[in-house]
Amino acid sequence: MEYMEIIDRITAENRETLARVDPREIDRFLEAIMAAKSVQLCGIGRMKMSVRGFAMRLKHMGFDSYVVYDTTTPVIGPGDLLIVHAGLSNVELNVMRLAKDAGAKIALVSAHPDNEHGKLADVTVKLPGQIFGAGDEVKSIQPMASLMEQALLLFTDALVLLLVERANVNREVMYGRHTNLEGINADFA
């Protein structure tokens, strides 16, 4: 295969995966985020890249957000929301059980929201990117769960735009919440 053919196939896979998400599930997911006192996000392996990116943008928008297992992540409890990306491992299942026992609500974004993880969740979003290459997952030319990992990043970036609109977030205020320790001069434009 040629490079451009690969790009076309990967792009098409992501488009199909994202297009198959139920808008009603998105609405419930956004409502859960907006109602939460604080949001903690959990992902394992490469799924954690999308978790980190989404936690950062939530923070930029003014939401109190954290990544599970980071040293600065506080206690979770009633009024808080745990968001889990993929929800397949025993590690995630344990985190979900602990959060549920502490009184937090749980949102799961997964290709398989009907599994044991999904039964613990208060809100689920089915994002059918390939993980195992089985069932109704969108099949991919890419190895393993690469499609799901990419789709999670794109999905949460789309949610950021929806949240900016629904929560009436000022983009200039968002920029003001971005770290100033990178040494980037915003006046260059």
Encode pLDDT of 8-22 as tens digits. Answer: 999 999 999 999 999
| Domain total of the chain | 1
- pLDDT for 78: 98
Parent domain of 146: 12-168
Q: Is the residue at 175 inside a domain? A: no
Mean pLDDT score across all residues of the chain: 95
Q: Is the residue at 37 inside a domain? A: yes
Q: Is the residue at 138 inside a domain? A: yes
Q: Is the residue at 185 inside a domain? A: no
Question: Can you give the CATH number for the domain in which 113 is found?
Answer: 3.40.50.10490
Percentage of the chain modeled with pLDDT above 90: 89
Q: Is the residue at 3 inside a domain? A: no
Q: Is the residue at 189 inside a domain? A: no
Higher pLDDT, 188 or 177: 177
Q: Is the residue at 86 inside a domain? A: yes
- pLDDT for 185: 64
Average pLDDT for residues 130-147, to the nearest whole number? 94
HEC profile of the chain: CCHHHHHHHHHHHHHHHHHCCCHHHHHHHHHHHHHCCCEEEECCCCHHHHHHHHHHHHHHHCCCEEECCCCCCCCCCCCCEEEEECCCCHHHHHHHHHHHHCCCEEEEEECCCCCHHHHHCCEEEECCECCCCCCCCECCCCCCCHHHHHHHHHHHHHHHHHHHHHCCCCHHHHHHHCCCCCCCCHHHC
Average pLDDT for residues 153-169, to the nearest whole number? 97
Percentage of the chain modeled with pLDDT above 70: 97
Q: Is the residue at 63 inside a domain? A: yes
